[in-house]
């Protein structure tokens, strides 16, 4: 039996000391308020045990544990002060005895009643969001925003560095706890999804142009094949792309302003007829590249995308 409860702060003295979420687990670890019947120490920690198990000290009753929210330092100290009288009542009548194989904690009727008082206090906690350290999932934090990337000034072509900078700013400015890695991962996924949608849209627009060209040349079989490609037929798409050549329309700074797909047998004059106001040197073959790319054109009129840093 002990005659004194020593209320001590959590060992690490940090707001996140009671929070732990192991990788691969769906839930965080339980946060526990713990009374040591042998020392009288009242402390708090998170359980390191995955699942519904308990520590050996708790199993043998030498520690009494109550699950609590992952409170920050100040509200945890307030809670400890509130339950100190009940914890003292537990210690005043509890014993730890040797049963022949282990030291076992035993609670009297009064001690059990006091433990129930602590439980009632813990169950009645209604901490404010800022009193609890529990990171929000990025998807939940941004859920009210209809277009997250636009709201944050990001685009489908934002760099990883730009996303990292935005994630860091969000973590610093948010009124709730956010995990920077989680925010970065979420924003990267949004960017990649939007980039994919833009690429698919661009490819669809190019195929539509090729379909119209096939119809204009009364190549209805080719037009039907392109229709199947537009509808998502992978074999048709592969067949079409083998027969089509990509041409780019360039501006004065050698930037690609438009991409056109035409049958590889199409005479260059037909392409120029589509763009009568564009000089021939601004219409070039572009095997790889997208609108907005800067290119270099070789003597054969074939364009290659160049790095702006070159």
The domain segmentation of the chain, as residue ranges, is: 6-131, 138-196, 244-305
CA distance 73 to 42: 14
253: exposed, middle or buried (Cβ count in 10 Å: 0-12, 13-18, 19+): exposed
Strand ranges of the sheet holding 41-46, from the earlier edge strand across to the other edge? 6-7, 41-46, 31-36, 63-68
Tell me, what's the pLDDT at 242? 63
How is residue 120 written in tokens? 């009632």
Residue owning tokens 């067949």:
239
Q: Does the predicted TM-score (pTM) go above 0.85? A: no
Tell me, what's the pLDDT at 105? 94
CA distance 64 to 138: 36
Residue owning tokens 């095997």:
287
- Per run of 10 residues, the mean pLDDT along the chain (length 310 residues) is 52 81 85 93 92 90 95 92 92 91 94 96 91 88 85 85 92 87 91 72 65 68 71 69 76 86 67 78 82 85 74
CA distance 167 to 183: 6
Tell me, what's the pLDDT at 164? 93
Tell me, what's the pLDDT at 6? 63
CA distance 70 to 31: 6
Tell me, what's the pLDDT at 97? 92
């Amino acid at each position: 039996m002990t005659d004194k409860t020593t209320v001590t702060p959590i060992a690490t003295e940090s707001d996140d000391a009671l929070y732990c979420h192991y990788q691969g687990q769906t839930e965080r670890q339980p946060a526990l308020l713990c009374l040591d019947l042998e020392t009288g120490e009242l402390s708090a920690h998170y359980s390191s045990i995955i699942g519904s198990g308990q520590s050996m000290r708790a199993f043998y009753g030498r520690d009494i544990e109550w699950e609590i929210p992952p409170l920050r330092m100040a509200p945890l100290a307030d809670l400890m002060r509130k339950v100190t009288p009940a914890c003292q009542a537990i210690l005043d009548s509890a014993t730890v005895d040797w049963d022949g194989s282990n030291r076992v904690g035993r609670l009297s009727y009064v001690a059990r009643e006091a433990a129930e008082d602590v439980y009632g206090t813990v169950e009645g906690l209604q901490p404010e969001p800022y009193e609890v350290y529990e990171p929000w999932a990025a998807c939940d934090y941004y859920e009210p925003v209809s277009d997250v990337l636009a709201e944050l000034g990001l685009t489908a072509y934002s760099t990883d560095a730009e996303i990292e900078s935005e994630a860091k700013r969000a973590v610093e400015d948010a009124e709730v706890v956010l995990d920077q890695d989680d925010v970065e991962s979420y924003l990267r996924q949004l960017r990649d999804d939007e980039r994919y949608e833009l690429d698919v849209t661009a490819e669809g627009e190019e195929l539509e142009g090729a379909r119209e060209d096939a119809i204009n040349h009364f190549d209805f079989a080719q037009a039907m094949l392109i229709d199947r490609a537009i509808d998502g037929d992978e074999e048709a798409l592969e067949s079409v792309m083998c027969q089509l050549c990509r041409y780019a329309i360039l501006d004065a700074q050698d930037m690609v302003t438009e991409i056109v797909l035409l049958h590889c047998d199409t005479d260059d004059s037909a392409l120029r007829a589509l763009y009568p106001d564009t000089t021939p040197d601004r219409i070039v073959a572009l095997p790889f590249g997208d609108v907005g790319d800067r290119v270099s054109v070789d003597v054969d009129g074939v364009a290659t995308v160049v790095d702006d840093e070159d």
